[in-house]
Amino acid sequence: MALSGNLEAQRRRDELVELANGPQGVMIEAAAELFAVSSMTIRRDLLELEAEGRVRRVRGGATAAPRARPFDARRAIRASAKKAIAEKALRLVPAHGSIALDASSTVNMLASAIGPRAGLTAYTNSFESFQVLHPLDGVTAVISGGTAEPTTGSLVGPIASRSMRSVYFDTFFSSADALDGADGTSEVSVDEAELKQAMAANAGTTVVCVDSSKLGRRSVARALERDEISVLITELDPSDERLDAFRDIADVL
């Protein structure tokens, strides 16, 4: 009987992880009804799953656990939202001067849209964005160097951070794994967070480009403080109420 109960609980938790990985996550009350158990049982399940690193608990339920993903997999997620964000951000790319671009797939979408310029230097820790920018007329592409993050492939670590701290940027374009209205951005790893801090420290303007699924969330490592964000770009209409928590710290596009 105990063995049967244990197997049933394990199957339920595995299914909870699948639900949490879905676009809407999993809510406690709905899961309790689905599995015909109490809300307290689901809360205990989610506590255990979070301790195992399989989900992230949020108010009223859980979402997917933060994890690094390969670049191609990240680029395919919410691609239409990323394209809309890139179109908005393109208006903020100068014809000349210096910009920094992080290694996110969202900012890579922007890099792919930039086109020829009149004397622009673009610094990045992304090999993919460097490849896109390097052939453009009037653009000097500079890659940071550093150590390739095993999953994402972005260049991170002390060498990358020192490289970015040695240059001043007119504008820094960054994405994030999560953006909280109180705490700012956060990333899946400390290395990713530290590099973005280095890039923002020398930027006149910091533009955060995130799709709406990142809003109101926290990831693992704190990155940019909310008052470091100059402009926030999402795929949403600027009047969308989901952006209200950020209007006091940034221009919202």
Enter the tokens of residue 5: 């109960």
Give how far Cα 202 sits from Cα of 85, 110, 122, 199, Å: 23, 20, 14, 6
Report the SS3 class of residue 249: coil
**pLDDT top residue among 153 and 134:** 134
Report the SS3 class of residue 212: helix
- Give the number of other Cβ atoms within 10 Å of residue 99's Cβ: 26
Predicted pLDDT of residue 3: 47
Predicted pLDDT of residue 52: 74
Give how far Cα 71 sits from Cα of 62, 75, 104, 195, 204, Å: 25, 6, 8, 17, 28
Q: What angle do CA 76, 81, 85 make, to 5 degrees?
A: 115
Proportion of the chain above pLDDT 70, given as a percent: 92
pLDDT band at 140 (very low <50, low <70, confident <90, very high): very high
- Tens digits of residue pLDDT in 100-129: 999 998 999 999 999 999 999 999 999 999
Predicted pLDDT of residue 2: 47
Q: Tell me the pLDDT of the chain averaged across its residues.
A: 88
Q: pLDDT at residue 1 above 50? A: no
- Give the number of other Cβ atoms within 10 Å of residue 167's Cβ: 16
- Tens digits of residue pLDDT in 20-70: 877 678 899 988 898 989 999 999 988 888 877 777 788 888 887 766 555
Cα torsion at 122, 125, 129, 134 (round to 10°)? Answer: 50
Q: What angle do CA 241, 17, 215 make, to 5 degrees?
A: 20
Cα torsion at 28, 30, 31, 34 (round to 10°)? Answer: 160
- Tens digits of residue pLDDT in 151-171: 777 899 999 999 999 999 999
Nearest to 252 by CA among 79, 87, 89: 89
Predicted pLDDT of residue 8: 82
How much is the average pLDDT of 193-202? 95
Query: In the chain, what is the greatest distance between 2 CA atoms, to the nearest angstrom?
Result: 74
Predicted pLDDT of residue 49: 84
Predicted pLDDT of residue 129: 94
Q: pLDDT at residue 71 above 70? A: no
Give how far Cα 23 sits from Cα of 58, 77, 83, 90, Å: 14, 11, 19, 28
Rounded-to-5 percentages of helix, strand, coil across the chain: 45, 25, 35
